[in-house]
Amino acid sequence: MSLPFGATMFTPLESSLGGLMIGASASLAYLVDGRITGISGIMGPFLRGVGQCEPMKDGQLWKLFFLTGLLLGGLVNLANWEFSYPPAPPLHAARYLLAGISVGIGTRIGKGCTSGHGICGLPRFSLRSWISVPTFMAVAAATVAITRHALKSDGEYSPQIAEVQWPPRWEYPLATFLGSLVLIALCVLVPDRYRIYLSPFSSGLIFAFGLGVSGMTNPSKVMNFLDFGGYWDPSLAFVMGCGICVSGPAFILAEQLGKVTKPLIEGCKFENPPKKGNYVPLVIGASFFGLGWGLCGLCPGPALAALIPKIVTGVWHSWEPDFGMAAAALLIAITWLVTDRVVVYLTTVTQKQGEASAETEKQISGTV
């Protein structure tokens, strides 16, 4: 049987190791710095702070080092480029642009994506995350079903399960996994004056390694995972499962001991985003994100890690879809910032209207 362009192999070993590294990155950031590793929640506020000329210290400095590690790790993954950065799916340019816009809007309104709500939110037993993840998964799967099977815009995808990659490509995954263990050990052993820089940089680097090793930087692999009724590659279930197996104990331990212990770096506190409430924007945002994720298989973490490599491979192979994927990554960031401005404006207007209404009622009550 001939396979369509973008057909991927089922890689349980590689994807499991990648998931372990992503979970280790989230655990390192939380236990050492007290930070939630939600990529959109790191990227967006950092860019907003840069635009507002915030001083490069404290949380802004942490985000800078994390994002630097994420981008550098994405470049290191070029050593595994055939698996981490195969040619992007030959989708129409407008589809990549629409996907980037949808993901940017969704991650700002819904306040999270696969990393923040999935790897971090689910093991925190956040009700918001337990609503968000099924929502964006369902919307993404429906998007893939419509584009691939109803509209047949991606070619012919016959129902089948991806063939297992055997023997596995173990050299790069094992090397990055061992390197990640060394970085974690260094973050634990070095003094705080070095740890405040090394920890976020290592978290970003390990996160990028996990994305490249697991196949999350390959949009075709992501969309194949979401294609439950067609060409299904279950690899990403191993990414999420193994990631939570590592991050789960770290978050549970921190939540249980949070009142009597603090992150490893002196002066830091555990971030504790709300676990309940504000459900309407959450579902709307998760739906937008799911739409974008299903359209081209990109979410903020893989998009940032693959940004520079995709420009490089696009030039090297003269493959235009790689540039479309890079453009989608940039649009995620730009749209997040634009959406943030709109959300802040609407929130401010609503608050002023509420204050004015309360003042009017107070005056009426006083007159009566």
Residue 278, sorted as left (phi over 0), alpha (psi -120 to 50) or beta, turns out to be left
Contacts of 35 (CB under 8 A, 6+ apart): 29, 62, 66, 200, 203, 271
Dihedral (CA of 178, 180, 183, 188) sign: negative
- Nearest-angstrom CA–CA distance, 281 and 287: 10
Predicted TM-score (pTM) of this structure: 0.93
The closest alpha carbon to 41, from 14, 63, 8, 11, belongs to: 63
DSSP state of 33: I
- Nearest-angstrom CA–CA distance, 236 and 227: 12
Contacts of 153 (CB under 8 A, 6+ apart): 147
- Nearest-angstrom CA–CA distance, 230 and 336: 32
pLDDT, one tens digit for every residue, the chain (368 residues) = 455 667 899 999 999 999 999 999 999 999 999 999 999 999 999 999 999 989 988 899 999 999 999 999 999 999 998 999 999 999 999 999 999 999 999 999 999 989 999 999 999 999 999 999 999 999 999 999 999 888 887 666 678 898 998 898 899 999 999 999 999 999 999 999 999 999 999 999 999 999 999 999 999 999 999 999 889 999 999 999 999 999 999 998 888 776 557 888 988 888 889 999 999 999 999 999 999 999 999 999 999 999 999 998 888 878 889 999 999 999 999 999 999 999 999 988 888 887 777 777 777 766 65
Strands 231-232 and 160-161: parallel
- Nearest-angstrom CA–CA distance, 310 and 321: 9
